[in-house]
């Protein structure tokens, strides 16, 4: 979702950096971008260069007597650098591995200085809030879930897209209004991953009732995450989908924490066998227990992110796992 801001509205992000930075009396902002996002980098760097030429950044920014710089840094494409302290390590020229906390970045961050690490979408919306007012922004959504959000609707839909809607919008409305509906119709829906592959997937019955905000998805033991929704129809092998997700986290683990480094490999190995059905029914509970020995036992949240899709599969799609195992063994 952040790529849409970088591609189409990079000036909003630059303006937001200046507003947020001046509010905190910061001297500089660093915008960290995955190295693969070349076009987005060019668009953003162009916007930053324009702001410097117009005197909005640098010495005496906007004629205010306040000095503020913005630097665009291209990373090497590591998922783990989405964790705030791993990003700081990468900015400092080190391996992108999360730090032990405390100290937190607000006390000891980039090069030992107090640092606030936040999201592109969060900063880019600040100029609009300043222009229209906090009351306008908080008029969207329900209590505890105010404002608007960028949502991705992807996967097996007729019109994959990124849209801005208020928090609390029904999931089915997003899929049908903006995503053009599930391929083959709503009855062909098998599962939805509501907020990026790190959150548990939910069933069609849950998706029909779910509201896209923090509290609404918590009711179904999942999370809003990034708001990047993946729709999965009945043509997909749901077990193989989670196996592929597990493979991603196995690959992206930085390897610092033993539960994550070893556990991600074990989960992927078991899921590979379960995709074929070459497992026992008892291994389903063993897989669930394994995921819970990773969750909460790592420096950063990547261990949790690897565990939750597996837990969601077992909690909501256990019958499919058991059927696959029984069919492999030739059992009714």
pLDDT above 90: residue 325: yes
Beta-strand pair 148-155/228-233: parallel
Beta-strand pair 148-155/169-170: unpaired
Q: What are phi and psi of 207, to 5 degrees?
A: -60, -30
Q: Per-residue pLDDT tens for 57-96?
A: 999 999 999 999 999 999 988 999 999 999 999 999 999 9
**Structural element, H or E, at residue 260:** helix 258-276
pLDDT above 70: residue 290: yes
Based on its alpha-carbon atoms, the radius of gyration of the chain, rounded to whole angstroms, reads: 22
Mean pLDDT to the nearest integer, 115-129: 95
At 332 the pLDDT is 67
Peptide bond into 232 cis (omega under 30): no
Mean pLDDT to the nearest integer, 122-126: 95
Non-local CB neighbours of 37 within 8 Å, separated by 6+ positions: 3, 6, 74
* 0.85 exceeded by pTM: yes
Mean pLDDT to the nearest integer, 108-124: 95
Rounded to whole angstroms, how far apart are CA atoms 310 and 271?
A: 9
Q: What are phi and psi of 54, to 5 degrees?
A: -90, 0
């Amino acid at each position: 979702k952040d790529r849409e801001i970088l591609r189409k509205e990079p000036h909003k992000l630059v303006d937001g950096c200046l507003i947020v930075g001046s509010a905190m009396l910061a001297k500089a902002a660093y915008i960290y971008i995955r190295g693969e996002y070349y076009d987005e980098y060019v668009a953003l760097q162009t916007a930053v260069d324009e702001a410097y030429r117009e005197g909005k950044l640098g010495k005496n920014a906007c004629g205010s007597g306040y000095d503020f710089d913005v630097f665009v840094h291209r990373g090497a494409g590591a998922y783990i650098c989405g964790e705030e302290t791993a990003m700081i390590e990468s900015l400092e020229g080190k391996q992108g591995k999360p730090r032990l906390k405390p100290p937190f970045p607000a006390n000891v961050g980039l090069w030992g200085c107090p640092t606030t690490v936040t999201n592109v979408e969060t900063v880019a919306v600040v100029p609009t809030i300043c222009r229209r007012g906090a009351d306008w922004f908080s008029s969207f959504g329900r209590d505890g879930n105010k404002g608007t959000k960028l949502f991705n609707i992807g996967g097996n839909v007729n019109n994959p897209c990124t849209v801005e809607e208020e928090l609390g919008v029904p999931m089915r409305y997003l899929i049908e209004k903006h995503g053009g509906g599930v391929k083959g119709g709503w009855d062909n829906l098998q599962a939805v991953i509501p907020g990026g592959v790190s959150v548990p997937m939910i069933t069609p019955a849950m998706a029909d009732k779910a509201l896209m905000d923090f509290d609404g998805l918590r009711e179904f033991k999942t999370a809003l995450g990034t708001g990047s929704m993946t729709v999965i129809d009945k043509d997909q092998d749901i077990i193989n989908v989670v196996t592929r997700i597990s493979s991603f986290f196995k690959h992206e683990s930085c390897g610092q924490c033993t539960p994550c480094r070893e556990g991600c490999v074990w989960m992927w190995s078991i899921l590979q066998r379960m995709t074929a059905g070459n497992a026992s029914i008892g291994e389903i509970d063993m897989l669930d227990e394994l995921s819970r020995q990773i969750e909460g036992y790592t420096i950063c949240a990547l261990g949790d992110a690897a565990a939750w899709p597996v837990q969601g599969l077992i909690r909501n799609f256990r019958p499919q796992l058991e059927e696959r195992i029984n069919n492999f063994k030739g059992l009714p």
